[in-house]
Amino acid sequence: MVLLRLASPLESHFGALAPMEPISHPSPFNSSYYIYQIKWDGVRLLAFFMSGQIRLQSRQGKDKTRQYPELQKLRDMIKCKEVVLDGEAVVMKAGQPNFPGIIERDFSRKESRIKNLQKKLPVTYCVFDLLYCDGLDATTFSLEKRQEILKNVFSSITPPIYLNENFLDGEILFREVVTRSLEGIVAKEKDSQYYLNRKSSCWLKIKNRQVLTAIVAGISLKQGRPNAIILGKYQDKELRYIGKVGAGLSQQVKRLLEDYLKELKEEKPELINPPILSEVIWLKPKLEVEVEFSEWTDKLLLRSPVFKRLLGERRVKEGGFKESRGYNPGSD
């Protein structure tokens, strides 16, 4: 067992550490050397419990304690004197993780707004690992050993805290994740240590690719011809820029877009946060497309979007950030 000699005050403990990160894997699999956990669509947080206090830290090392006051309930559940936990803060809406919701919580600074959002967008802290417990550096233990200790850290577990379940069949779990439109799973080697400040192949993330209906807010051009679609999505009755997509656009679709340029051209963008582009034509927000993407970034942009199909005239007046998911083997 490795003892850590931690110095006061609490804010200095583990202050320079970043959590272990998974690498991408193309498809689900089964192996007796792994356990499998659900990957939640949230914000990564380390939770420090020392001297009767809870401090929350982002993966970038920023203090996030003020943003999530409801997670102070951890103090009443932990029966050890000093603990460092790893987990993910998630906002659930209609039974689904809502990434824009957790980003709104994470970026809030004013106490009055945080108090309001605490009611509007309550957070669940999904705990999945243990770094430290009562003088023991658990990062040197195997995952199985850490999970065993983690179960005994809590005297009770009630909302807003959730202890991630471990599953032995990755393929069955992934099929259930797809059915429930969740983000994906993480496969973790049972014998692996916890490697701070780095990505490791001991953890493999397997994503359930998302499909989203977006508004065509404009077309970016290359040498005067359509090159990519500027995408928008309604949030609180405002049309927000969420990225652009060029991958997957066929020549036939580009020709169709040229026809729409004449009919729907606008002088100014209707986006509240338009991107700065050198060659673009803005359009009236009347056209919808379906795109596939890997995940949302923390700036609420689509990561690795791919055009799927043109849907035509917009069917819904105001959307939001709701999306469906569909597994695409071989995609990140």
Give the DSSP letter of residue 3.
B
Asked if the structure places residue 3 within a domain, the reply is no
Of the ranges 66-80, 140-154, 259-273, which one carries the lowest mean pLDDT score? 259-273
Same domain for 24 and 143, yes or no, is yes
Place of tokens 């359009």: 283
Could you tell me the pTM of the whole model? Answer: 0.78
Can the peptide bond before residue 269 be classed as cis, meaning omega within 30 degrees of 0?
no
- Other beta carbons within 10 angstroms of residue 38's beta carbon come to 21
Kindly report the CATH number assigned to the domain that includes residue 295: 2.40.50.140
213 vs 229: CA distance, rounded Å: 13
176 vs 159: CA distance, rounded Å: 23
Q: Of all residues in the chain, what percent carry a pLDDT higher than 90? A: 70
66 vs 69: CA distance, rounded Å: 6
Provide the pLDDT for residue 320: 57
Same domain for 306 and 189, yes or no, is no
Provide the pLDDT for residue 214: 95
- Give which of 282, 278, 245 is closest to 261, Cα–Cα: 282
Q: Of all residues in the chain, what percent carry a pLDDT higher than 70? A: 89
Residue ranges making up the domain that contains 274: 210-325
Q: Would the pLDDT of 330 be above 70? A: no
More confident residue, 5 or 115: 115
Asked if the structure places residue 56 within a domain, the reply is yes
141 exposure class (CB count in 10 Å sphere: 0-12, 13-18, 19+) = buried
- Give which of 280, 226, 286 is closest to 256, Cα–Cα: 226
Asked if the structure places residue 214 within a domain, the reply is yes
260 vs 293: CA distance, rounded Å: 24
Same domain for 283 and 193, yes or no, is no
Q: Count CA atoms within 13 Å of residue 154 on its CB side.
A: 19
Give 164-220 pLDDT, tens digit per residue. Answer: 999 999 999 999 999 988 999 999 999 999 999 999 999 999 999 888 999 999 999
What mean pLDDT is predicted for residues 144-168?
Answer: 96
Give 9-41 pLDDT, tens digit per residue. Answer: 334 545 568 899 999 999 999 999 999 999 998
Query: Do strands 324-325 and 280-283 pair parallel, antiparallel, or not at all (unpaired)?
Result: unpaired
151 vs 156: CA distance, rounded Å: 10
Same domain for 167 and 297, yes or no, is no
Same domain for 65 and 192, yes or no, is yes
Structural domain total, the chain: 2
Q: Would the pLDDT of 95 be above 90? A: no
User: Which DSSP string corresponds to 99-115?
Assistant: HHHHHHHHH---HHHHH
Radius of gyration of the CA atoms of the chain, in A? 22
Q: Could you tell me the sign of the dihedral formed by the alpha carbons of 127, 133, 139, 144, in that order?
A: negative
Give 310-321 pLDDT, tens digit per residue. Answer: 987 665 455 555
